[in-house]
Amino acid sequence: MKPRIYIARDLPEPVASYLEEHCECRYWQGPGDISEEQLAEKIGDAEGLLVTATPIGQAVLRAGSSLRVISNLSAGYNNLDLRALQQRKLIATHTPYVLDETVADLAMALLLAAARRVTAMDRLVKRGGWVKGMDAELYGLDVHHKRLGIIGMGRIGEAIARRAALGFEMDVVYYNRSPKPEAEERFGLRYCSMDTLLDTSDFVLLMTPLTPETKHLMGKAQFARMKSNAIFVNVSRGENVDEEALIYALQQGQIAGAGLDVYEHEPISVEHPLLQMDNVVTLPHIGSATAETRLNMAFAAARNLVHALTGQTPVQIVPELQQQ
């Protein structure tokens, strides 16, 4: 008998076909994304669950008494109640690795767009504001040979550092829980304290996971340390930044601008102050959003689920649950 699974999101056809081959599948039919409460109602006797951002806590776990594995279609897994999963001795998986290079591309795109005012200049041209004789009004900031400070030197951080150091000849420094000597040797990086990074970097890029320790890691004190002509870029998680502190820093001219793909509350409201600022580039959380990468992520999540339910070792177990 095939294991029973509940699929709480849309999937590309090849991935759905793969799951149908190995599992008895039930699907969320919408409308919109499934909520935690709706998932608790729908999960029934499913042994496996494939989900993306829906919170998985006690309500879902109590309702899903037959659950054996939860496959999270995301590199991050802050939507999972890890303590509750540990108590139930459930396996949870995620999809790192396959999105690293794509997110690194997006991070560099945000950095360049914010520095060279790409979106502001695009709006200027489209509204007919570009007139002959304009000069200083069009100025941005150089990126090449400037200092990039990366907070969080995981795989994606290393991919960003490689692009910056080798492609733009930037001086790359980083702060991490522990130094990365191999990355330092390969890309010419230098480890430094958080304060030194903030004090001296022309671009500060946040690339940490969301944990209790990193929530609001960037706050009022951190933005106050940055150079007044520095750019802040966040492609990690919105909750890692105190948004009120970021808004204050931008309004007061403590920093020159920002490039953001993530926010404390998503989707961000059209009335949000960050959307009213020409020196802020705002994207709709699209770090991994290419067709190729999303297909690879979906297949990775599907394989994790099938492997766990058929007695094979899942490829990518959430680190905190690997020792169960």
The structural domains of the chain, with segments of one domain joined by +, span 4-98+291-319, 100-282
| Residues 82 and 321: beta-carbon distance below 8 Å | yes
Q: Choose the catalytic residue: 24, 36, 285, 320.
A: 285
Structurally, what CATH architecture does the domain formed by 100-282 represent? 3-Layer(aba) Sandwich (3.40)
Residue 30: the pLDDT is 84
307 is catalytic: no
Q: Choose the catalytic residue: 37, 169, 244, 266.
A: 266
62 is catalytic: no
Does 4-98+291-319 match 100-282 in CATH topology? yes
Name which of 305, 301, 316 is nearest 2 in CA terms. 305
Residue 134: the pLDDT is 96
**CATH fold for the domain made of 4-98+291-319:** Rossmann fold (3.40.50)
Q: Choose the catalytic residue: 163, 237, 294, 307.
A: 237
Name every residue whose Cβ is closer than 8 Å to that of residue 271 and which is 6 or more positions away in sequence: none
DSSP helix, strand, coil percent of the chain (3-state; round to 5)? 40, 15, 45
272 is catalytic: no
Task: Tell me the mean pLDDT per 10 residues along the chain, length 324.
Answer: 96 97 95 93 97 95 96 94 94 96 98 98 97 96 98 97 98 96 95 98 97 96 98 98 98 98 96 97 97 97 97 90 73
Residue 324: the pLDDT is 58
CA distance 60 to 57: 6
